[in-house]
Amino acid sequence: MDQRLADVLAVLELETLEVNLFRGESRDIGSPQVFGGQVLGQALVAAYRTVEGRVCHSLHAYFLRRGDFNAPIVYQVDRSRDGHGFSSRRVVAIQHGEQIFHMSCSFQVPEPGLEHQAPMPDVPPPESLTNFESYAEEILAELPEKVRPFFQHRRPFELRPVTQRDYLNPKPEPPLRYVWLRAVDQVPSDEDRLHRCLLAYVSDYNLLETATLPHGCTFQQLQAASIDHAMWFHRPFRADEWLLYAVDSPSASGARGLARGSLYARDGRLVASVAQEGLMRLRGPGPLGVTIEPVAPTR
């Protein structure tokens, strides 16, 4: 197995401390704090540990504080309710004695019902596109030193954007992105819950960045962080097969940007929907020649 995939699977393998209490380790992916997708995926793993015979169909989470990737994270699960067809869980992530994240999620006994979905966008296939890592290697030397670790990080998912953003000289463009993604190797399990946890992990990529596209901002001009994250799982899928992530941003205001994402399997099935609002705070020289005073690195 590719070491990158093996590593993320190890990160999602939580240690059981007590009933409803779990502990997870973190990884440095080159960002100042723990990657939000990691916390999301681990929290979903913790919730799944308390449920049998049901699949997660939705989750709603808030990121409260920056996570420290040098310290473990403890996940406490509240078994809010187990009904005939649905179960509800609340997960709180704790680090250094403080809550850094909390999530509510709902599980359902699988059952048939009415079906419809939005059509999959018509975009080029992944085989015709360049891997993001290849592009990152080409521009690495020209990037600011503080953001290079993020671009150097070897991700457990292969990302192939339909249109590659110019990170060196960003120009205003429509808030819309299409990115093909899949795990870098075959996932050694057919368990639906594992594939949903992996998709929760990777769903944090590309969202907030899409909300910045109309403004042509550079890394030095923005303080960005996820505030909340919602996700709905519609249909079964595999995280190691190509999925199209179609992301748009309908609004940015009040130093916050909203992004929405739809994830499609290659056969056109809509497998999941995502929404996220994030902090987009200007600092330093702003776009359109406006100078913004620096702000403290807190929410």
Evaluated on CA atoms 290, 205, 167, 31, the torsion sign reads: positive
Neighbours of 276 (CB within 10 A): 27
Q: Which of 42, 221, 226, 273 is catalytic?
A: 226
Active site residue 276: yes
Measured between alpha carbons, how far apart are the two ends of the chain, in Å?
A: 39
Active site residue 223: no
Q: At what angle do helices 192-202 and 36-48 cross, to 10 degrees?
A: 160
Q: Which of 38, 42, 203, 276 is catalytic?
A: 276
Q: What is the 3-state secondary structure of the chain?
A: CCHHHHHHHHHCCCEEEECCEEEECCCCCCCCCCCHHHHHHHHHHHHHCCCCCCEEEEEEEEECCCCCCCCCEEEEEEEEEECCCEEEEEEEEEECCEEEEEEEEEEECCCCCCCCCCCCCCCCCHHHCCCHHHHHHHHHHHCCHHHHHHHHCCCCEEEEECCCCCCCCCCCCCCEEEEEEEECCCCCCCCHHHHHHHHHHHCCCCHHHHHHHHHCCCHHHEEEEEEEEEEEECCCCCCCCCEEEEEEEEEEECCEEEEEEEEEECCCCEEEEEEEEEEEEECEECHHHCEECCCCCCC
Active site residue 226: yes
Q: Which of 33, 204, 240, 249 is catalytic?
A: 204
**Catalytic (active-site) positions:** 204, 226, 276
